[in-house]
């Protein structure tokens, strides 16, 4: 793909910019700024989502540790759930 912008050297890019009209240069800079700002906002949102997920995970870990204090080290959530369901609804066999 000869002549594509991404194949040009920095000197070629500088020459292209110097040959641009002021209006085109302003338009290009506006586009670059918008793309950069959108990327910054997207990165911030990704970090916030990861941060929320991390906090939720840490909270679950804390709850798991607290549960082991009440139920002992060998706490089995599935067994406790089955026991609770049996107490509430009885057995089907």
Cα(37)–Cα(87) distance, rounded to whole angstroms? 57
Structural domain boundaries of the chain?
25-89
At 69 the pLDDT is 74
pLDDT tens sequence across 12-30: 888 888 898 999 989 999 9
Cα(69)–Cα(59) distance, rounded to whole angstroms? 16
List Cα–Cα distances, 90 to 11, 37, 78, 83, 87, in angstroms.
Answer: 80, 59, 16, 9, 6
At 1 the pLDDT is 46
pLDDT tens sequence across 30-76: 999 999 989 989 999 988 888 888 899 989 888 877 777 776 667 67
Cα-based angle 31, 34, 36 (whole degrees, multiple of 5): 105
pTM (2 d.p.): 0.40
């Amino acid at each position: 793909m000869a002549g594509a912008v991404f194949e040009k050297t920095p000197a070629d890019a500088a020459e292209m910019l110097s040959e641009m009209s002021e209006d085109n240069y302003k338009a290009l800079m506006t586009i670059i700024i918008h793309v950069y700002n959108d990327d910054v906002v997207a990165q911030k949102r990704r970090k916030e989502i990861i941060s929320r997920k991390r906090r939720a995970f840490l909270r679950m870990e804390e709850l798991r540790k607290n549960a082991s204090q009440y139920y002992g080290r060998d706490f089995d959530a599935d067994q406790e759930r089955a026991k609770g369901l049996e107490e509430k609804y009885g057995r089907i066999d």
